Amino acid sequence: MTSGTTPDLPLVTGAWREGDPVGARQFLDVGTIDLESGAQLPDVRVAYETWGTFRGDNAVLVEHALTGDAHVTGPVGPGQHSPGWWDDLVGPGRPIDTDRWFVVATNILGGCQGTTGPASIAPDGQPWGSRFPALTVRDQVTAEIAVADALGIDRWQAVIGGSAGGMRALEWAITVPDRVVRLFLLATSPWASAEQIAYSSTQQAAIVADPNFLGGDYYGAARGPVAGLALARRIAHIAYRSEPELAERFGREVQDDGRFAVTSYLEHHGTKLVKRFDANAYLVLTRAMDTHDVGRGRGGVDQALARITARTIVAGIDSDRLYPLSQQQVLAESIALSGRLEVVTSLHGHDGFLVEFDQVGALAQKLLG
C-alpha cells in the first residue's frame, strides 16, 4: 500500500498488495478463468478465509457485498483494516455456527483484498490497471467454483449472501443447482434495475473524473484517484441508508466546524473506504453488478429461477430504497419456502442486512436447521 503524510491514508490505493501482511488470508491459484466475454484471465489467485472443520459435507459459503471481503469474522490486525463484517452471525455458537459448519468466504474476483484484480500484477510483471478485463457476476462465480473444486467441496450445505453477495449466491444456485443444498438471499435482486445502474454509473463517473485516475494506470504515480473513490462511496452511502435514519441521526445539525453533521458522516465513510479499497476494483465490481440479470441467455428470469433446487429463504429490508422489497418478492414467489418473503424491519435501509443481526441471524438459523 502506498502511504502519504497521514500514515494510514493511502495516496494511491488501499488495495492489499504482495508484500503486505497476510493476516488470516489463505490463497489458491486456480489458473486461467474463461470469461463470459470470450476473453481469458490467466494466473488467477483467490484469497479466502475459513472457520470450523471440514468434515466432507458441512461446508457453507458466505458471500460478501460490493466493498466487503473474505474477513467475515475476526478482529482488525496486520493486513486487515476492518473487523469482520458479520462478527455477530458467524462463529462458535452463533447463528452460523462454526462448531457445526465449515464456513468459507472468498474475496471476489476483480476485488482488491488478495484476489486477482486490477491492482494485481499481470503476467508481464506490471499491474493490470486499465488492461484488466470486464467481468460479470457469472465470471466471479466461475472463479468460486474453481475454489470449491480445489478445496474438495462437492456441494455447499448453504450459500448465503446479501446485496452483491446475494447476486453471486443466486448465480451459484442457478449455474450448478446440484451443488447448493440451501440458499439464503438477502437484500438482493434477480437483475440490476435502471435505478441501480444509474446510482452505479454516477459513482463510476466520480472516479473516472478524478484527474489522478490516469485512465486507470495510476499505480506507479504519486497520487491515485482516492478523492474520486471517496466521492463514489459518499454517493453510494446515501442509497445504503434510509431517509428516516438520516433525519433522526443528523437532521439539520451543524457541527462546530461549520459542516452539516450529515456531510461529515458521508465524508467519514468516504475516507474509511479509501483506506482499504482500490478505485479500479470499484469500477470493475460495480460494472459487473450492472450486468447482473439471471435471465440473460437462459430464456428469461422465470426459466432461470426454475433451475434452483435449493431450500431457499429470501429476505428483504423494509426501508431499503436501493434494493426494494419488490425485487425480493420476484425471487420469493419463484423459489422461497412456501413462496414467502421474509421482511427484516430496520431503520437503516439497505445496510440493515449488516446491522440487524438478531433478525438476520434468526433467518439463518431457520434455514440451517
Buried/exposed 3-35: b ≥16 CB within 10 Å, e otherwise: eeeeeeebbbbbbbbeeeeebbbeebebeebeb
Decide: residue 290, CB within 10 A, 0-12 exposed, 13-18 middle, 19+ buried. Answer: middle
Give pLDDT tens digits for 23-34.
Answer: 999 999 999 999
Q: Which residue, 242, 85, 91, is CA-closest to 165?
A: 85
Indicate whether 12 belongs to any domain: no
- As a whole number, mean pLDDT of residues 335-358 equals 96
For 199, phi and psi rounded to 5 degrees? -55, -45
| pLDDT score of 9 more than 80 | no
| 40 domain-assigned | yes
Could you confirm whether 200 is annotated as catalytic?
Answer: no
* Tens-digit pLDDT profile for residues 45-60: 999 999 999 999 999 9
Q: Which one from 81, 139, 163, 278 is the annotated catalytic residue?
A: 163
Q: Which three cell numbers stand for residue 145?
A: 467454483
The reply to whether 51 and 115 lie within a common domain is: yes
Q: Which of 288, 316, 347 is the last residue of a domain?
A: 288
CATH code, 250: 1.10.1740.110
Do 273 and 312 sit in the same domain of this protein? no
CB 336 within 8 A of CB 366: no
pLDDT of the residue at 1: 39
Are the C-beta atoms of 241 and 350 separated by less than 8 Å? Answer: yes
Residue 343 in contact with residue 326, Cβ under 8 Å?
Answer: no
- Say yes or no: 277 and 304 in one domain: no
Its domain, for residue 279, covers: 197-288
Catalytic residue among 189, 320, 346, 351: 320
Residues 268 and 203 in one domain: yes
List pLDDT tens digits, range 122-165: 999 999 999 999 999 999 999 999 999 999 999 999 999 999 99
pLDDT score at 8: 58
Last residue of a domain, one of 288, 317, 340: 288
Same domain? For 158 and 209 the reply is: no
Q: Are residues 364 and 227 in the same domain?
A: no
Single out the residue of 220, 229, 240 nearest to residue 279, CA to CA.
Answer: 229
Among the candidates 271, 288, 305, a domain finishes at 288
In a domain, 21, yes or no: no
- Strand (E) or helix (H) holding 174: helix 164-175
Question: What pLDDT, on a 0 to 100 scale, did the predictor assign at position 2?
Answer: 38
Residue 328 lies in a domain: yes
In this model, does residue 6 exceed pLDDT 60? Answer: no
Residues 6+ apart with CB under 8 A from 58: 52, 100, 101, 102, 157
pLDDT value at residue 10: 80
Same domain, 159 and 208: no
Whether the per-residue pLDDT at 5 is higher than 90: the answer is: no
Residue 20 placed within a domain: no
Q: Are residues 282 and 324 in the same domain?
A: no
Segment 12-19 shows an average pLDDT of: 95
Does 338 qualify as catalytic in the annotation?
Answer: no
Considering the candidates 71, 81, 348, 350, report the single residue annotated as catalytic: 350
What's the number of CA atoms in the CB half-sphere (13 Å) around residue 347?
6
Q: How many domains is the chain partitioned into structurally?
A: 2
For residues 33 and 20, give the distance between their C-alpha atoms in angstroms, rounded to a whole number.
25
Distance CA 317, CA 324 (A): 8
Residues with Cβ within 8 Å of 271's Cβ and at least 6 positions away in sequence, in order, are: 9, 230
Domain of residue 51, CATH code? 3.40.50.1820
Amino acid at 81: H
Residue 326: which residues within 8 A CB-CB, separation 6 or more? none
Asked if 278 contacts 238 with a C-beta cutoff of 8 angstroms, the reply is: no
67 & 174 share domain: yes
Q: Is 320 a catalytic residue?
A: yes
Q: pLDDT per residue over 62-109, tens digit each?
A: 999 999 999 999 999 998 989 999 999 999 999 999 999 999 999 999
For residues 105 and 226, membership in a common domain is answered with no
Look up residue 337 and give its three cell numbers: 419456502
Residue 15 resides in a domain:
no
Summarize the confidence of residues 166-172 as an average pLDDT.
Answer: 98
Would you say 62 and 86 are in contact if contact means Cβ atoms under 8 Å apart?
Answer: yes
Please tell me the distance from the alpha carbon of residue 62 to that of residue 52, in angstroms, as a whole number.
13
Residues 153 and 299 in one domain: yes
**Do both 148 and 217 map to the same domain?**
no
7 is a domain residue: no
Residue 70 · residue 25 · CB < 8 Å? yes
Q: Is residue 4 pLDDT above 70, yes or no?
A: no
Are the C-beta atoms of residues 14 and 112 closer than 8 Å to each other? yes
Q: What angle do helix axes 194-208 and 279-290 make, rounded to 10 degrees?
A: 160
Domain assignment of residue 105, yes or no: yes
